[in-house]
Structure 1
Amino acid sequence: NRCSPGLSLSDHGAVSSYELTQSPPASMSPGQTARITCGGPSVGGENVEWHQQKPGQARALVTYGDDNRPTGVPDQFSGANSGNMATLTISGARAKDEADYYCQLWDSSSNNPHSGGTWVTPKSAPSVTLFPPPTEELSANKATLVCLISDFYPGSVTVAWKADGSTITRNVETTRASKQSNSNDWKSKGSYSCEVTHEGSTVTKTVKTSACS
């Protein structure tokens, strides 16, 4: 369920005695621009490289020497160095760009590499649609509500069904995201809701039974 609508940047801290300050936590939608900064004494005057490391893979160079890219790296990645700050810009960031990004440099006095990492991950709120039971089904003394959840990332959500605000679990099939009951159960309540929680945020869709009689 990778999709497009939050990127978060979280600091992994500095590495080695030459202190590099990583970007503070931030969030944005995939498709927008992510900027990761790397600060340190006179960083802008050093040879700065940015490396991408995806889970389970080796680090890959994405920019070097200010704004140069190795063959095969798309131009959505660009680097800039100035003063005490180096910046990696990821234009149109998507789920495929989820990775740890490391600033690496060689200070001219010791020629030793120093690096720190910033994790980049997209966050997309789910799209939730609640479908009420069709009138033909109600006429047959059956009622099926379907809660369609799509376009979310990372890939897990918690779903709760509620009737008149109270949580219900009977006749719920969470793998299919539907709520089944007979029409008497349906008519005995004023409303049904599908409550979807993703990454700490909740989206609720409600249908009133009076609108479907």
Structure 2
Amino acid sequence: MAQVKLQQSGPELKKPGETVRISCKASGYTFTTAGMQWVQKMPGKGLKWIGWINTHSGVPKYAEEFKGRFAFSLETSASTAYLQISNLKNEDTATYFCMRWDYDGGFAYWGQGTTVTVSSGGGGSGGGGSGSGGSDIVLTQSPASLAVSLGQRATISCRASESVDNIGISFMNWFQQKPGQPPKLLIYAASKQGSGVPAGLLASGSGTDFSLNIYPME
């Protein structure tokens, strides 16, 4: 079986007002059998979901915050998805990841990430985004940080501002991110373990309330 891989384009340095296009080339599977999602990781902050595109129909869906300047497109014959950001602003400086979505709630395969740096250099007015309100779901984790001794169990809770259940699936995923590395999928669809995840993780929940238990390894 061919190895699934998502290869993204290299880093970009842009000025405010310019446009950037990031590519994500898929290999190892039939491109149109899985959706493509995009997320943003700003320095020192968590992941933000930008949206996704149906690779079969070409229909995109965007989070409210990213509607307008962010656009998805496809080159199906080349098994490639694109994220284009127009009228760049300083606050668009971030690393952007593409993720294969298997329609069962899983994101087992990620691109390596593309870092976009927006710098005015010697000028540039920038300008602030107005925002459009919107109804994006807010996830609140607790505790914000946790220190445990070796051999102890750690429990993390996550509450959504509204239900994340749809078509019988809880679209809640847990990720681990180590410094200098892209996020790694641990749990998808609320309780299913991602590929290559070691034993010792137990997740549960539905609707708005979820938990992740990390048990000590024997």
Q: TM-score when scaled to structure 2?
A: 0.45
**Higher radius of gyration, 1 or 2:** 1
